[in-house]
Amino acid sequence: MSKNTLENLFESLEEGFDVYSPNEGHEKRFLGKLNSWQKLGDNKTKTTIQFWKPMAGIAASVLIVIALIIGNNKMDNSGDLASVSPKMAETQDFFTLTINEELNNLKLLASPEVDNLIKDTLIQIKKLENEYINLKVDLIESGDDNRVIYAMISNFQNRIVILQNTLEQIKNVKHLKKSSNHEKNITI
């Protein structure tokens, strides 16, 4: 389109344009309304930001705590027999349950006569638990080596044997004490 054509177009449409000027003070009223909306919008934005900042901080803290808990649980389980296979998880659960039952039986039979025997047993169990912790590290480093797995199972078995032997000795001590008390009663 040429320049003349555009000029002709605008000249022909000039009468159709809204060429009226606004009332006096229109610009002042418009700017006043605009400023009031901006101030209202700024306050609303500031209020929203002030509300969400602490909420975002709390949410971030909660997420960090959850991540740490999940991370610690994964780290605790890694290196256990349970991390090798589901069958080993069952084995570990069985041994752990058996050891806990034997420890409870040991507590039930505790008495002053067998106190030293129980203390010695708990020291031996603690040593085996420390060895097991080292075996967990070895298992991670060896990549689930069968020798380490067998050593871990043997560790569990040794703890159970020690606890069962101690329980048997405690029963023998109590039986001997009962027998000696019975003999004293007979001789008197």
* 182 falls within a domain: yes
* 86 falls within a domain: yes
Range of the domain at 143: 75-187
Give the number of residues written for the chain: 188
* 111 falls within a domain: yes
* 116 falls within a domain: yes
Give the pLDDT score at 40: 67
* 3 falls within a domain: no
* 46 falls within a domain: no
pLDDT block averages, 10 residues each, the chain of length 188: 70 67 80 77 60 70 78 59 86 91 88 89 94 92 88 94 93 85 60
Question: What's the total number of domains in the chain?
Answer: 1
- CA–CA dist 156, 179 (Å, integer): 35
| pLDDT tens track for 131-164 | 999 999 998 888 888 999 899 999 999 999 999 9
* 138 falls within a domain: yes
- CA–CA dist 148, 11 (Å, integer): 97
pTM for the model: 0.55
